[in-house]
């Protein structure tokens, strides 16, 4: 009985820590990949609709998600949409090689210490968190398909229509 109780406590505590729709987005700050002298804090984007995307060079679905996210970013950035790509590669060279093949124009940061991934309780790659203008996670996407991209477009457009 004690083992069952302990297992339930562990399972419950892990689900409480998970960032899901309705949760406040965890704050993090990370060094920019394109400009290592500067960091990007998620809080600096408050007031925008933000998609935080955890990706890596070894992630096969990321080859599809990164261009799709870049297209969404380019289409909606003038209306208050931002994307932050959080790289999970151990080697910065791996990330750079990937970005030469799959270039993007949105902000990219590294997460070598896993602080951001732990804060968001990332469970799959890629994992994306759509955050409204008030800092609330409105949708979580784990994995990425063409259908995910279309659903995300609709979700972004709906959030951009909401008042600030």
**DSSP for the chain?**
-HHHHHHHHHHHHHHHHS--TTSBPPP-EEEBSS-TT-EEEGGGGTTSEEEEEEE-TT-TTHHHHHHHHHHHHHHHGGGTEEEEEEE--S-HHHHHHHHHHS---SEEEE-TT-HHHHHHT--SSSEEEEE-TTSBEEEEEES--HHHHHHHHHHHHHHHHS--
Q: How many domains does the chain have?
A: 1
Overall pTM surpassing 0.85 (yes/no): yes
CATH of the domain at 126: 3.40.30.10
**Is residue 56 in some structural domain?**
yes
**Is residue 6 in some structural domain?**
no
Instruction: Encode the chain (164 residues) as per-residue pLDDT tens digits.
Output: 444 334 333 443 344 457 888 899 999 999 999 899 999 999 999 999 999 999 999 999 999 999 999 999 999 999 999 999 999 999 899 999 999 999 999 999 999 789 999 999 999 999 999 999 999 999 999 999 989 999 999 999 999 999 87
Task: Tell me which residue range forms the domain holding 109.
Answer: 20-161
**Is residue 3 in some structural domain?**
no
**Is residue 15 in some structural domain?**
no
**Is residue 11 in some structural domain?**
no
């Amino acid at each position: 009985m004690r083992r069952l109780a302990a297992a339930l406590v562990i399972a419950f505590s892990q689900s409480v820590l998970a960032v899901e729709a309705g949760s406040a987005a965890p704050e993090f700050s990370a060094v920019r990949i394109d400009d290592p002298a500067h960091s990007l804090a998620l809080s600096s984007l408050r007031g925008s609709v933000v998609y935080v995307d955890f990706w890596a060079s070894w992630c096969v679905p990321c080859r599809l998600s990164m261009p799709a996210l870049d297209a969404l970013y380019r289409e909606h950035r003038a209306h208050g949409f931002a994307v932050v790509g959080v790289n999970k590669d151990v080697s910065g060279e791996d990330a750079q090689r990937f970005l030469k093949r799959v270039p993007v124009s949105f902000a990219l940061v590294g997460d070598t210490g896993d602080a951001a991934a732990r804060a968001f309780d990332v469970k799959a790659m890629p994992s994306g968190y759509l955050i409204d203008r008030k800092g609330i996670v409105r949708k979580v996407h784990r994995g990425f398909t063409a259908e995910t991209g279309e659903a995300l477009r609709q979700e972004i457009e709906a959030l951009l229509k909401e008042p600030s």
